[in-house]
Amino acid sequence: MLERFDELTTAHVADACLRAGVPVRTVSLTSVVGGRIAGRALPAQHVGSVDIFLEAFEDAAEGDVLVVDNSGRRDEACVGDMVAREAQIACLSGIVIWGLHRDTVDIQEIGLPVFSLGALPTGPLRLDPLPADALLAATIGGWTVTRDDLVLGDEDGVLFVPADRIDELFDLAESIRDTERKQAAEIRSGRSLREQVRFKEYLTARAADPSLTFRQHLRAVKGAVEE
Ligand SMILES: O=C([O-])CC(=O)C(=O)O
Ligand SMILES: [Mg+2]
């Protein structure tokens, strides 16, 4: 099922969410290793020690993505090569960190996709109390992520989608991708996007009815740019 993401981008699926009325839960994280990520979310709230990740791995299934909630902190790294190696041996497909990582060179050598806000040499210096839901939910960029979500990541960042809507979202994303590819091919062959989406008609119609939006017009002419 997730193989369908191989031929899509997070941008296509984000636009599909908008079209389907599903919240667009994205965060701008970058991959330490390059490469893409797709799998079921395995949430873990970090409070100052890696033991919460080891505990999460005890119940992990093959292909899961560890979703680390470190509150977006920039004063400590919370995942390094030890955690990445352990995730790999537990058959996870990657790690997403709402926070920082360290041991960059070793993580690159391991090759497991790790997405984070950046790197810092300092590890955790604190130990806070562990919330009761530490393995049930992660708050990432203000979004709540649970075991019911899938994680998709690529060069644009990371997107969380409800697992029970994925077929519908992939259908929409594929149709958006196909429309955009056709538009792009036409632009390459010299036919402007404005011509393709009949932009002059839109400007005329909007002059007559100022409430008309470009998205409404795009839908009417079956174009795709932002949804
Ligand atoms: O930040 C930490 O304590 C984790 C760490 O270095 C590692 O996993 O190698
Ligand atoms: Mg380390």
Q: How far is CA 55 from the centre of its chain?
A: 24
Q: Give just the sign of the alpha carbon dihedral 61, 70, 98, 110.
A: negative
| CB 82 near ligand 1, within 6 Å | yes
Residue 223 has pLDDT above 80, yes or no: no
How many other C-beta atoms are found inside a 10 Å radius of the C-beta of residue 21?
A: 7
58: tokens are 């005890």
Q: How confident is the model at residue 185, as a pLDDT?
A: 96
What is the rounded average pLDDT of the residues 134-141? 98
**What is the residue with the minimal CA distance to atom 7 of ligand 1?**
80
Buried b (16+ CB within 10 A) or exposed e, 30-45: ebbbeebbbbbbbbbb
Residue 75's nearest CA partner among 14, 126, 1, 9 is 126
- pLDDT tens for each residue of 82-92: 999 999 999 99
Instruction: Measure 121 CA to ligand 2 centroid, in angstroms.
Output: 9
| CB 100 near ligand 1, within 6 Å | no
Return residues with CB closer than 5 A to ligand 2 (ion).
Answer: 80, 103
| CB 123 near ligand 1, within 6 Å | yes
**What is the residue with the minimal CA distance to atom 6 of ligand 1?**
80
Q: What's the mean pLDDT when you consider all of the chain? A: 96
Question: pTM for this one?
Answer: 0.94
Ligand 1 atom nearest to 83, measured from its CA: 8
Domains (ranges, CATH) in the chain? Answer: 2-168 (3.50.30.40), 192-227 (no CATH)
- pLDDT tens for each residue of 141-171: 999 999 999 999 999 999 999 999 999 999 9
125: tokens are 């210096």
Q: Are 61 and 40 in contact (CB under 8 A)?
A: yes
Task: Report the percent of the chain where pLDDT is more than 70.
Answer: 99
Q: How confident is the model at residue 227, as a pLDDT?
A: 67
Share in percent of the chain as helix, strand, coil (round to 5): 40, 25, 40
Q: Which ligand has its closest atom nearest to the C-alpha of 49?
A: 1
Q: How confident is the model at residue 39, as a pLDDT?
A: 98
Ligand 1 atom nearest to 86, measured from its CA: 8
| CB 50 near ligand 1, within 6 Å | yes
